[in-house]
Amino acid sequence: MPLVNTHEAKTRLSQLLEDVKMGKEVIIGKFGVPVARIVPFTVLSKQRQGGQLKGTISIAKDFDILPKNFKKHFTR
């Protein structure tokens, strides 16, 4: 993993991205000091799975019942 200074990285960005695309890592530095590492992007393939809160949340039985005078706030 060669160190590439910021000026060179700006000049060769397209080529550096091609290198990363091929699986290489690129380290970008400032004044010879490593600052950032560019690595290939990987997509997380793990499917999301629901139900983690099952049994911990409950909805009141009267949840869908509106108070008698509540509808007046929505009509003109």
How many alpha carbons fall within 13 Å on the CB side of residue 2?
8
The pLDDT of residue 48: 81
What pLDDT sits at residue 67? Answer: 83
Tell me the per-residue pLDDT of 10-64, one tens digit each, with 9 for 90 and over: 999 999 999 999 999 999 999 999 999 999 998 877 788 888 888 898 889 988 8
- Helix or strand holding residue 33 (H, E): strand 33-38
First-to-last CA distance in the chain?
69
Task: Give the per-residue pLDDT at 1.
Answer: 67
Domain 1-40 in CATH 3.40.1620.10 = yes
- Can you give the pLDDT at residue 47? 83
Taking only the tens place, the pLDDT of each residue in 24-39 is: 999 999 999 999 999 9
